[in-house]
Amino acid sequence: MPLPLSPLLLLLGTTLTFRAGLLVLSRLPLPVHVRGDPLHTWRWRNLLVSFAHSIVSGLWALLCVWQTPEMLVDIETKSSLSGYFLVCFSTGYFIHDSLDILLSKQAQASWEYLVHHVLAIFAFASGIFKGCFVAGGVLILFVEISNIFLTIRMMMKLSNHQDCVFYEINKYINLVMYFLFRLAPQAYLTRYFLRYLGQRTQGTFLLSILMMLDMMILIYFSRLLRSDFCSNGKASPYHSKNKFLTE
């Protein structure tokens, strides 16, 4: 597929779009439990941008596959203009969020996010600069459907609403969505790369990134289960008020 615009201009434009979105969302009122704490305030606004990105990119990914179902079987060469713009859009978000974490001096507390973002940016580079594996990028972004409910969970915990009924309902929805849109697509892509692309240089490179993401996803899943379904009321040894990605 011929690249529609300069990839660097697209990435710059999407990164600036998310920066502008952060400024707009920062004007929204803060929950009572978040006010007065600079760290919680930053986390809340960061999650608002993440929530917006998850809604847009998750639904966009489903639309891309609905419009071009061949993406499900031809991950390497099948593409669409919409899918290409989606991959650029999400890469712009990952760049923005990485910069937001670094500029806010939250790198130590949020290092897992930074590692994830760097891996995603490298993985999406094949689609952005070479026009290949765009379909793979679109399928990976199915995870954003799961992230909608995961971000709701994190925002409710941050605003101290984890004891309400909606949190209980959301935790079960979150579990189902984790299976359907995070674990299942990741397993499908891993199987694809292991079977067809392991002997190719670029395929091997992408497979190595995918395997690292697989490990991160399984670790997050174990934390989610331990926190929401196996909690015994004791403080987790992983918990820290300064850590962004807590249980």
Q: Is residue 224 part of a domain?
A: yes
Nearest 5°: the CA angle 54, 31, 234 is 85
d(Cα 195, Cα 240) in Å, to the nearest integer? 41
The Cα-based distances of 95 to 27, 29, 166, 197 in angstroms read 22, 26, 32, 27
pTM for the predicted model, two decimal places: 0.90
Q: Is residue 247 part of a domain?
A: no
> What is the pLDDT, as a whole number, of residue 237?
44
Question: What residues have CB less than 8 Å from 208, skipping those under 6 apart?
Answer: none
Q: Which two tokens mark 169?
A: 């309902």
> What is the pLDDT, as a whole number, of residue 43?
95
Q: Is residue 75 part of a domain?
A: yes
Q: Is residue 149 part of a domain?
A: yes
d(Cα 179, Cα 156) in Å, to the nearest integer? 21
Q: Is residue 179 part of a domain?
A: yes
Q: Is residue 178 part of a domain?
A: yes
Q: Is residue 94 part of a domain?
A: yes
> What is the pLDDT, as a whole number, of residue 2?
63
Burial of 223 (0-12, 13-18, 19+ CB in 10 A): middle
Q: Is residue 154 part of a domain?
A: yes
> What is the pLDDT, as a whole number, of residue 197?
60
d(Cα 42, Cα 31) in Å, to the nearest integer? 12
d(Cα 154, Cα 161) in Å, to the nearest integer? 10
Question: Domain count of the chain?
Answer: 1
Dihedral sign for Cα 53, 56, 60, 63, please.
positive
The boundaries of the domain holding residue 197 are: 7-228
pLDDT tens for the chain, 247 residues long, are 666 668 899 999 999 999 999 999 999 999 998 988 999 999 999 999 999 999 999 999 999 999 999 999 999 889 899 999 999 999 999 999 999 999 999 999 899 999 999 999 999 988 898 888 999 999 999 999 999 999 999 999 999 998 899 999 999 999 999 999 999 999 999 998 887 665 566 777 888 899 999 999 999 999 999 989 886 644 444 444 454 444 4
